[in-house]
Amino acid sequence: METTAQKNKELEKVQELVDDIGIAMMTTVDDQGQLVSRPMAALQMDEEGSIWFFTKRSAPKVAQIENNERRVNLSFAKVGDAEYVSVSGTADELDDRAKIDELWNPVAKAWFPEGKDDPELTLLKVHIDMAEYWNASDSKMVRFFQQATAAITGNPPKMGENQKVYN
């Protein structure tokens, strides 16, 4: 994922974690009011605190975003390292050829066989309203020991950093 310096310095840790994890589960609401999630590769978190994705113009998520006040949630998880990020925000579909050129990578061709000029290719830009992250700085063994100690003592374990950030 491409990274840029954040104007909101509180988002720097979020950006670091999003960059490390890379894949989000993007949740929208369908026509029946059901929550629907799908994996999406984050391409960039820009300086304004927006995360960019490629998508197909005809994908159901595009209509779901438009029909539900553009509200989405992104969940990032790297379980082995105990890194988690939850982002709530608003999404916009954009047909910005210059931005597509900037973000294009060879892996995207698997989903867009005609390349950058694929008529189905469009962008989703998710502006972060609020992000919350959890990040354990200790190793798995230390976390396991802390959990075992907590189970014996009844005192909750200290499992690392947890922070809410508003943009």
Output the pLDDT for position 8.
76
Topology of domain 2-166, per CATH?
Answer: Pnp Oxidase; Chain A (2.30.110)
Q: Could you report the per-residue pLDDT of 3-29, keeping only the tens digit for each?
A: 667 677 889 999 999 999 999 999 999
d(CA 92, CA 100): 14
Exposed / middle / buried, residue 79 (Cβ in 10 Å: 0-12, 13-18, 19+): exposed
Q: Could you report the per-residue pLDDT of 97-135, keeping only the tens digit for each?
A: 999 999 999 999 999 999 999 999 999 999 999 999 998
Q: Could you report the per-residue pLDDT of 154-164, keeping only the tens digit for each?
A: 666 555 667 78
SS3 category, 140: helix
pTM, two decimal places: 0.83
Output the pLDDT for position 162.
77
Q: Are 42 and 75 in contact (CB under 8 A)?
A: no
Bridge-based pairing state of the strands 44-45 and 2-3: parallel
Domains of the chain: which residue ranges? 2-166
Average pLDDT (78-101) is 95
Neighbouring C-beta atoms of residue 44, cutoff 10 Å = 20
Q: Are 94 and 41 in contact (CB under 8 A)?
A: no
